[in-house]
C-alpha cells in the first residue's frame, strides 16, 4: 500500500498565502507517503504569473521542500517557473528529504474555451516520470489529460501511477469532462490515478478556475474517493496488488498493437 494525500486547496493571487495553505495541508497529511497539490499552487492564473514566476530554487518551492522534509513525505505541486519571454507551467516533484527529483513542464497548453494559455506560457516538450515514495509517478497537468497519447507515453517510460494536477475551469459540462477524462486515463491504462484540482475560491470566483472534484481512481476506472467541491486534505490508499489483479482481468496493455 502507498498512502496519498489529495490536497485540494483554494489558490489566491498571493504566493505567500498559498505557501501557508500548502504547509497547513502538509501538516494535515501527516502519515502519507506522497502529497499532491493542484496546478498553479504558486499563484492563481492571470497575467500576474509572468511577474510572480520563480526559479525552482525560489522561496515557494524551497518552502514546500522544507515542509516535505519536516513531515517526511514527498510532494507534487504546480508552480510557474521563470523562463524566456514566457513562463513555464511546471509540476515539481520533491522527495521526503526535500530534494527536487523531477520537474515537468506542461506540454499541452489550454488554448480552448476562449482561453489562450500560450500567450503567457512556453510549452514543455518531454513527458516526465518522477520517482517518489517508492513509485514511478507519471506527471500530467490539466489540459494534458485530454490527450491519451501522453498518458500512454508515461506508461512506456515506466509509470506505475498517474498524478493529474489541475486548475480546471468551470462552465457547461466542464466538470463532467474532468471526471470522464480522469477515469478514462485510469481505465485505458489500468493505472491508479490521483487527480487533484484547485478548490473554488469564492474571493476570486470571477475567473472560473477551480471546480474541486479531486479524486482517486483505480485501474478499472472506479472512483475510490471524491473530495467534492470544498477545500480539504484526504488520505487515500493505493493497493499495488489490485493493479496486478486488474491487469490480469483486463490485459489491454499487453494487447496493444500500435
Catalytic position from the list 7, 39, 54, 81: 39
In the sheet that holds 34-36, the strands lie side by side as 100-105, 88-94, 74-81, 34-36, 2-8, 232-238
Whether residue 136 lies in the annotated active site: no
Whether residue 252 lies in the annotated active site: no
Whether residue 39 lies in the annotated active site: yes
Residue 128, burial from CB neighbour count under 10 angstroms (0-12, 13-18, 19+): buried
In Å, what is the CA distance from 49 to each residue of 46, 104, 126, 236? 6, 17, 22, 32
DSSP run (H or E) holding 155: helix 148-156
Catalytic position from the list 7, 54, 81, 106: 106
Cell of 26: 502538509
Catalytic position from the list 7, 54, 117, 142: 142
C-alpha to C-alpha distance for 134 and 67, rounded to whole angstroms:
19
**Which residues have C-beta within 8 Å of that of residue 248, sequence separation ≥ 6?**
none
C-alpha to C-alpha distance for 25 and 8, rounded to whole angstroms:
9
The residues annotated as belonging to the active site are 39, 106, 142
Amino acid at each position: 500500500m502507498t498512502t496519498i494525500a489529495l490536497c485540494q486547496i483554494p489558490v489566491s493571487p498571493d504566493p505567500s498565502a498559498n505557501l501557508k495553505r500548502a504547509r497547513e495541508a502538509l501538516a494535515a497529511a501527516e502519515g502519507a507517503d506522497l502529497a499532491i497539490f493542484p496546478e498553479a499552487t504558486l499563484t492563481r492564473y492571470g497575467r500576474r504569473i509572468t511577474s510572480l514566476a520563480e526559479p525552482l530554487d525560489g522561496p515557494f518551492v524551497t518552502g514546500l521542500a522544507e515542509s516535505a522534509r519536516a513531515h517526511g513525505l514527498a510532494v507534487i505541486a504546480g508552480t510557474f517557473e521563470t523562463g524566456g519571454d514566457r513562463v513555464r507551467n511546471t509540476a515539481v516533484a520533491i522527495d521526503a528529504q526535500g530534494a527536487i527529483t523531477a520537474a515537468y513542464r506542461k506540454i499541452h497548453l489550454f488554448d480552448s474555451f476562449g482561453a489562450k494559455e500560450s500567450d503567457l506560457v512556453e510549452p514543455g516538450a518531454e513527458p516526465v516520470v518522477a520517482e517518489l515514495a517508492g513509485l514511478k509517478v507519471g506527471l500530467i497537468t490539466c489540459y494534458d489529460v485530454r490527450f491519451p497519447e501522453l498518458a500512454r507515453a508515461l506508461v512506456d517510460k515506466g509509470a506505475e501511477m498517474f498524478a493529474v494536477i489541475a486548475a480546471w475551469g468551470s462552465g457547461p459540462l466542464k466538470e463532467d469532462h474532468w471526471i470522464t477524462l480522469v477515469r478514462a486515463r485510469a481505465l485505458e491504462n489500468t493505472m491508479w490515478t490521483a487527480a487533484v484540482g484547485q478548490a473554488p475560491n469564492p474571493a476570486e470566483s470571477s475567473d472560473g478556475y477551480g471546480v474541486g472534484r479531486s479524486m482517486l481512481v483505480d485501474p478499472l476506472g472506479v472512483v475510490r474517493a471524491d473530495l467534492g467541491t470544498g477545500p480539504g486534505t484526504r488520505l487515500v490508499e493505493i493497493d499495488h496488488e489490485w493493479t496486478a489483479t486488474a491487469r490480469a482481468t483486463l490485459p489491454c496493455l499487453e494487447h496493444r498493437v500500435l
